[in-house]
Structure 1
């Protein structure tokens, strides 16, 4: 069963480039783990970014999170100073 997550990244002023370096490293890994970036939104000031990501199942999400290439990119995320909130979501009809 597909699972959807909302990620909110709050970025300190001037750290957008560092965060984008992390994103460039990890977003291409999504497809390898059954993930799809449905939407990527950013405020005009570059201080808040939102991603809506869907995976084919919980196992796929877990595999993405455990990918060693993602772990290798973690210092890029840390250097950006981003505060990340991750929420499991469901459709409301």
Structure 2
């Protein structure tokens, strides 16, 4: 368990703990079990969100690659057509220059 997890556990324990007549915090074994359960649920939720985010990133990259293939295919067809139309290779290169 790293330091951040320890701090979260202490905060959760403080939230669910009881106090005695003098105002002292009392944390029972049952409270610690509840803290562990809450921590596990939070970690599971975080992992689930991370998997969703990774899937979205993967889908975005795949969509970008697909669109780039379509664009490159159209550019290739355009260059081929210009060559058929008799345009010089130098003029085709100048006209179809890709600026990044």
Q: Which has the higher contact order (CA 8 A, sep 6+)?
A: 1
- Could you state the TM-score of these two structures normalised by the residue count of structure 1? 0.24
Higher helix fraction (1 or 2): 2
Higher strand fraction (1 or 2): 1
- Could you state the TM-score of these two structures normalised by the residue count of structure 2? 0.23
Whichever of the two has the greater Rg, that structure is 2
